[in-house]
Amino acid sequence: MAVEGKLEPTVKEDPAAVIAFARDQGIKFVDFRFSDLLGQWQHFSVPTSELTERLFAEGVGFDGSSIRGFQQIHESDMLLFPDPRTAFVDPVLEVPTLSLICDIGDPVTKGRYSRDPRYIARKAEAHLRESGIADTSYWGPEMEFYIFNSLRFGQTVNEGFYHIDSSEGIWNSGQNGTPNLGFRPRLKEGYFPTPPVDQLQDVRSRIALALQESGIEVEVHHHEVGTAGQAEVDMRYDSMVSMADKVLVFKYIVKNVCRREGLVANFMPKPLFGDNGSGMHTHQSLWKEGVPLFYDKDGYALLSDLARWYIGGLLAHAPAVLAFAAPTTNSYRRLVPGYEAPIKLAYSARNRSACVRIPTYSDRPQLRRLEFRSPDATANPYLAFSAMLMAGLDGIRHQIEPPTPVEADLYELEGARADAVKNLPGSLEEVLAALEQDQKFLFEGGVFTEDLVDTWIALKREREVDPVRLRPHPYEFMLYSDC
């Protein structure tokens, strides 16, 4: 795109400046984006001439009855309010387009829409400030995903299948439809040899460049453990709502850059049997008046009491939190023993088999944080981050002590030591049941509402749990077709 100007932070604070930028830079369309309840971006576009200061103030209408988890048909009219601070020039579209992330409003009440996921995260940030515990939370999700050459799937009354292919997949080592150039990472050996074994270096670099063009700071990218193109690209940490916005920008850019390359990006937690799944390990910390609150030079792993209680709350409420943070049936194909899966309700310095790990790369106070390793990228980041924060704050308020940290490999424990460490639930059905029983902590400060939680549970059961449960599984034919 022939757009050379840069949207500076000072420009983004002023709708008039955003409008002037769009017109000065020859932007042809403005794209309004918002998240449905499950975390999928939705959008529509208007000519740049339609972008006015009045639109920022009064909103633009859309049909809420067509969006998953939103309104009924008799209450369909809704409003989008563009947030000028989110403006970025889309780096993957050919026609110069300015994208704006929007908040959702109700034209009848004139208030913010209670099921808008971004509104939940806004309320969570406000609740943190009002609590007096901290004024800022920082979030740094590690985004893992696969890059395939082909992904086919289908489901009918008499057939169900999926077929994945990748030029980098170890299963293609014996193929010779075209000259076989070899050099493929074996199962669990993709972390992280150089090219030519890593065939996707340039693709990840182009993803990183597109992210930077959109205003997202990239810290690192590399091949992940899995064969067949497992990748990780890490963004610089940010505050909650801003980082949740960036997660959706990230997924959008990754998918579109890969498509432009003739590839398909896949964020499912467990697309391949027998190799590592893709998580969204989420680093988080609390700050007050510029001071990091999770650091104590005398604490275990340099953690403060406040950080330890935060971990206690996160672990105590983890089954309910995972209803938002690992919210699909496929999430629990990943959360199984082995494959570096964090299924143990424990915390530890360095230990990647625990749900909560304390990174120990540096002893600087501002880098003291925790990493909750069980979430994945099927989550709606606004809801997942908010649920984690509310669990942590509940731990601080009630001074919930986590289990004693475990330094050993949690998968190798035996006897009483093994019995003392609980596992995460093993299915979406179980975490939804946990959320039904444990949700009071989410309602503190009016952050989550009963209506949103009830709608989430119903939608997940009707759309995912029951349809998967009712269909024959391909492997059942391997087991039972000759019975």
Catalytic residue list contains 371 = yes
- Beta strands (DSSP E) in 65-197 are 77-82, 88-89, 97-105, 136-148, 150-155, 160-165
Residues pairing with 284 in the sheet: 139, 370
Catalytic member of 281, 333, 334, 368: 281
Tell me the two tokens of residue 469: 């449960």
- Residue appearing with tokens 């792993």: 301
Q: How far apart are CA 261 and CA 317, in angstroms?
A: 42
Catalytic member of 36, 125, 232, 394: 232
Catalytic member of 43, 206, 352, 461: 352
Catalytic residue list contains 142 = yes
Distances (CA, A) of 75 to 78, 94, 108, 402, 444: 8, 36, 10, 45, 28
Catalytic member of 36, 103, 116, 144: 144
Catalytic residue list contains 8 = no
Instruction: State the CB neighbour count (10 A cutoff) for residue 171.
Output: 14
Catalytic member of 115, 204, 308, 373: 373
Catalytic residue list contains 63 = yes
Cβ–Cβ < 8 Å for 349, 301 = yes
Catalytic member of 224, 234, 245, 376: 224
Catalytic residue list contains 476 = no
Cα angle 143-204-29, degrees, rounded to a multiple of 5:
85
Catalytic member of 63, 77, 451, 466: 63
Catalytic residue list contains 308 = no
Catalytic residue list contains 352 = yes
CA–centroid distance for 380 within its chain? 6
Catalytic member of 103, 125, 142, 429: 142
Cβ–Cβ < 8 Å for 452, 114 = yes
Buried b (16+ CB within 10 A) or exposed e, 248-259: bbbbbbbbbbbe
Catalytic member of 371, 376, 429, 464: 371
Indicate which residues carry an active-site annotation: 63, 142, 144, 224, 232, 281, 352, 371, 373
